[in-house]
Chain A
Amino acid sequence: AQTVTQSQPEMSVQEAETVTLSCTYDTSESDYYLFWYKQPPSRQMILVIRQEAYKQQNATENRFSVNFQKAAKSFSLKISDSQLGDAAMYFCAYKRGADFGNEKLTFGTGTRLTIIP
């Protein structure tokens, strides 16, 4: 079974600084997808960024980027120019590729990010 590990239960960063959240995963598959979700106090889970395992190029969405190291099974999230609205729980998630009827997400335990004004 696949597992996803987030080793930082809590992180904090000064506003406008950069922070990196860690995520590692364990799988024997070569085809899979990785996601970072954000859960603010409103509880609404929102997709931050996604990465297809077959793509070598790291995904980027505005201030959010990932460092995807397939051999190391590592998928970290970098938030640049941190803003107060970035304060939230962040979850890393894994999805197997090409498994009809079994397209579930496996989540890590989350990292609570605090932004210091």
Chain B
Amino acid sequence: DVKVTQSSRYLVKRTGEKVFLECVQDMDHENMFWYRQDPGLGLRLIYFSYDVKMKEKGDIPEGYSVSREKKERFSLILESASTNQTSMYLCASSPLGHLNTEAFFGQGTRLTVV
């Protein structure tokens, strides 16, 4: 059974803290993605990566960075958490070049910044 695992389902952090959201996939996928989900806004792409050490900005990268040191792991970093980063964060992966194959998602991390 394929799996994308996010390290936390719920997280509460203080304003100004550095926050790490971890995502691991066991499907040997090249592509990995971080989305943010907000009511009425759907899923918006923060960053994505198609290979180790590679990273590409999505639609809303401000205030975030990422790290991909190993193929199976993609980390999202909030350098200095702010209350407007309170949201649901979804990680996904997909195989490179298999365009008709869907992306597989983790169960999401609901982050609250207080």
Residues of A within 8 A of B (CB): 6, 9, 33, 35, 37, 42-45, 47, 50, 52, 91, 95, 97-98, 100-110
Contact = CB atoms under 8 A, between A and B. Distances in A.
Interface of B: 31, 33, 35, 40-45, 48, 50-51, 54, 56, 58, 88, 90, 92, 94, 96-97, 99-100, 102-103, 105, 107-108
Contact of A102 (B35, B56, B100, B102): B56
Nearest to A35: B102
Nearest to A6: B42
A108 B35 CA distance: 13
9 contacts: A37-B102, A45-B92, A47-B102, A95-B99, A97-B99, A101-B51, A102-B56, A104-B58, A106-B45
B45 A104 contact: yes
Contact of B94 (A6, A9, A42, A103): A103
B107 A42 contact: yes
Contacts of B92: 45, 105
B110 to A, nearest CB: 8
Nearest to B31: A103
Contact of B107 (A9, A44, A47, A108): A44
Contacts of B102: 35, 37, 47, 50
Contact of A43 (B42, B50, B108): B108
B42 A91 contact: yes
